[in-house]
Amino acid sequence: MSGRKTDGFKSWLVAIAILFSLSPTVIFFAVSQVEGLSNEQKIVSRNQALNTTASLFIGLAVIINAYYAAKRTEALKKSAIAAEKNNEISIHNLELAQERLIAERLTAAITQLGHEHVATRIGAIYALEKIAQDSPKQYWTIMEILTAFVREHCSIKPEPENSVEELAKVATVSTDLQAALTVIGRRNWEQDQKNQKLDLRNTDIRRVDLSNANLQRLDLRGANLTKANLQKANLFEAKLEGAKLCGTVLYEADLQSSNLEEAKLLRS
């Protein structure tokens, strides 16, 4: 109710109250002026007038009470709206603070991925995993950062020619790269971007342990998985075209709908 309407309604209430307060005097005066009435009849008429006046005053009291009750309700409603807005602002500020904190954690972890000490890099990898769990918005970005980290440090290099000894050697992935691949293998794949695959193409990840890992829909084209442990791994719809799988443990691995075109299962 606006201020002008409130002032106008108050004026009407004051006028009605004045009118009601004067009504007994008017009624008494009118009754006393009526001729031909006995004293008993005048008393009855006055009592009736008083009852009518009392009823009017009760009605006025109800109206006034209803008015102030409506005002209280309006005030409570405004307070509730203000409280709700304050709550929304508080929630928004909290979300901003959380997003700022996550951004700071993400920046720090990414910076530590390039640290010279392997232990620091491993800590950064697990920190990124925790951020991905805490912030679904950052999940896919973090998975792409980890796959990029693996690609950068495990890209396939040309094998030396005419060196049987070198060809017989099978490298082992470093502990930090194993950690990154482990995190990728236990990710929540339901949060993966639709129509996109995590890119591990042409990576040298021989002897990696990805048993029971969730590798579905990964792009592993041209990857060297020689003697890797993929036991019970989920490779549903994985791209394995041209991948090297010589001596790879695939016992109970799910290869449903995966593409093994030109994959090498035996050393030539």
Q: pLDDT, tens digit, for every residue of 85-113?
A: 888 887 878 777 888 999 999 999 999 99
pLDDT at position 253: 95
Q: pLDDT, tens digit, for every residue of 45-67?
A: 667 766 777 776 777 777 777 77
Torsion sign (Cα): 125, 127, 129, 135: negative
Query: What Cα–Cα distance (Å) separates residue 210 from each residue in 139, 167, 225, 248, 260?
Result: 20, 23, 10, 11, 18
Q: Tokens representing 98?
A: 């959380």
Look at 238 and 55; give whichever has higher pLDDT: 238
In the chain, % of residues over pLDDT 70: 75
**What are the domain boundaries of the chain?**
3-104, 141-268
pLDDT at 164 over 60: no
The CB density around residue 201, as the number of other CB atoms within 10 Å, is: 19
Segment 100-127 shows an average pLDDT of 94
Residue 170 near residue 207 (C-beta atoms within 8 A): yes
Look at 82 and 47; give whichever has higher pLDDT: 82
E strand or H helix at 96, and its extent? helix 39-112
E strand or H helix at 225, and its extent? none
Model confidence at 143, pLDDT cuts 50, 70, 90, reads very high
| DSSP state letters, 133-189 | HH-HHHHHHHHHHHHHHHHHHSB--PPPTT-HHHHH------HHHHHHHHHHHTS-G
pLDDT at 236 over 50: yes
What is the pLDDT of the chain when averaged over all its residues?
A: 82
Inter-residue long-range contacts of 137-145, CB under 8 Å, 24+ positions, other chains counted = 138/102, 138/106, 139/187, 139/188, 139/191, 140/191, 140/192, 140/193, 140/196, 142/106, 143/184, 143/187, 143/192, 143/198, 144/198, 144/199, 145/110, 145/113
Assign domain 141-268 to its CATH architecture.
3 Solenoid (2.160)
C-alpha closest to that of 199 among 232, 257, 152, 158: 152
C-alpha closest to that of 240 among 265, 266, 259, 264: 259
Range with the lowest mean pLDDT among 83-92, 116-125, 197-206, 221-230? 83-92
pLDDT at position 98: 83
pLDDT at 188 over 70: yes
pLDDT at position 29: 54
Alpha helices in 113-135 (DSSP H): 118-134
- Cα separation of 207 and 64, whole Å? 87
